[in-house]
């Protein structure tokens, strides 16, 4: 865990602090910060999601249906629980609740999945299976749902043409159709040649660094707050999701090692895609970014705890 903290978690904290310091020194204007978020949301993030999903294969997805079912139930359950809690208890708008769900209800599996699981459980087929399945659920299901809920037609509760327009608008976003396209290619068995990876990787590799830096800029643009809502978001992400992964996994008799990996994957900090979307649409940015910062720090404490608990129970 110390090695993971130094090599994977500490860089996130440092880059976010660098963005925060740059924002406080006004090294970037508000328009420039929005341009960075637009770069990530429309180009770097879709490329990163496409590459991460396309590396999977159909056999992996159907190799263990219990793993897929448990991951789907827990991730979607936490997503909608987060949306409902934010909308009902904290009186947020439907759009703010949608961004909250994208943050508090989604683990950053694509960015930290292998970095966390490989050193502990090894670079195995099982590790790749857990990361691939949860990545597809987060990126190809929850992101489209979140952007759909962000659309004015969906927020107004309209039916018929309004709902259809909201769905079409969501699927026009590159961050939606890119992972969906990659998932379809995987399901029908079309494999992207490895020689094509550099075409996507060059832009995809900018995703994480720019996204974390932009999160620091966003944090600097707003007064940092520490509220009950941030505690709620943090507990939901770091405590409730891994707990549900453990309980539902036991209920479905997931094997010991996969169960441990699922629990730790569920305990990962919020997905950066939620922060990028918040900044892009200027919705829930202050609370969302603060929730990310607190969750990243909280993960240092909760990760060893969940490793111990999952091993003991499994």
235, 265 Cβ separation under 8 angstroms? no
Q: Domain ranges in the chain? A: 2-313
CB neighbourhood size of 13 (10 A): 16
Q: Does 220 have pLDDT greater than 80?
A: no
pLDDT (0 to 100) of residue 261: 92
- 45-70 average pLDDT score: 77
183, 53 Cβ separation under 8 angstroms? yes
- The Cα–Cα gap between 174 and 151 comes to 15
Q: Does 240 have pLDDT greater than 90?
A: yes
Residue 19 confidence class, pLDDT cut points 50, 70, 90: confident
Q: What is the DSSP letter of 92?
A: -
Higher pLDDT, 236 or 5: 236
Which architecture, in CATH terms, is 2-313?
Up-down Bundle (1.20)
226 token code pair: 């520490």
CA contacts within 13 A on the Cβ side of 313: 22
Tokens 């992207």 label which residue? Answer: 192
- The Cα–Cα gap between 99 and 112 comes to 21
Residues 260-301: pLDDT tens digits? 999 999 999 888 778 778 877 888 988 988 898 888 889 888
105, 78 Cβ separation under 8 angstroms? yes
pLDDT (0 to 100) of residue 88: 93
Residue 31 burial by CB count (10 A; 0-12/13-18/19+): exposed, middle or buried?
exposed
Residue 117 confidence class, pLDDT cut points 50, 70, 90: confident
Return the sign of the alpha-carbon dihedral for residues 213, 215, 220, 226: negative
Q: Does 237 have pLDDT greater than 90?
A: yes
Residues 125-179: pLDDT tens digits? 677 778 878 888 888 889 889 888 887 655 555 555 556 666 677 777 787 788 8
Closest by CA to 40, choosing from 272, 281, 211, 213, is 211
């Amino acid at each position: 865990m110390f090695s993971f903290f130094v090599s994977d978690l500490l860089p996130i904290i440092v880059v976010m602090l660098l963005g925060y310091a740059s924002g406080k020194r006004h090294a970037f204007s508000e328009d420039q910060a929005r341009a960075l978020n637009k770069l990530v949301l429309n180009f770097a993030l879709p490329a990163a999601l496409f590459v991460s999903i396309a590396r999977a294969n159909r056999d992996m997805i159907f190799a263990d249906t219990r793993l897929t079912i448990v991951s789907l139930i827990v991730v979607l359950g936490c997503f909608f629980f987060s949306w409902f809690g934010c909308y009902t208890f904290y009186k947020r708008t439907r759009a703010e609740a949608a961004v909250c769900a994208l943050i508090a209800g989604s683990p950053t599996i694509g960015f930290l999945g292998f970095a966390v699981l490989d050193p502990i459980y090894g670079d195995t087929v099982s590790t790749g299976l857990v990361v691939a399945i949860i990545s597809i659920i987060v990126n190809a299901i929850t992101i489209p749902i979140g952007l759909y809920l962000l659309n004015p037609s969906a927020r107004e509760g309209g039916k018929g043409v309004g709902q259809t327009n909201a769905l079409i608008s969501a699927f026009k976003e590159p961050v939606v159709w890119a992972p969906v396209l990659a998932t379809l290619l995987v399901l029908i068995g079309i494999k992207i040649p490895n020689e094509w990876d550099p075409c996507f990787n060059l832009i995809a590799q900018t995703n994480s660094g720019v996204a974390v830096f932009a999160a620091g800029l966003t944090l600097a643009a707003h007064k940092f707050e520490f509220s009950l809502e941030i505690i709620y978001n943090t507990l939901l992400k770091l405590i409730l999701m891994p707990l549900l992964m453990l309980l539902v996994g036991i209920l479905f008799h997931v094997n010991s090692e996969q169960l441990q990996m699922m629990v730790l994957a569920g305990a990962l900090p919020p997905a950066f895609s939620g922060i990028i979307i918040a900044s892009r649409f200027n919705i829930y940015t202050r609370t969302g970014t603060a929730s990310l910062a607190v969750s990243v720090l909280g993960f240092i404490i909760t990760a060893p705890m969940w490793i111990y608990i999952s091993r003991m129970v499994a």
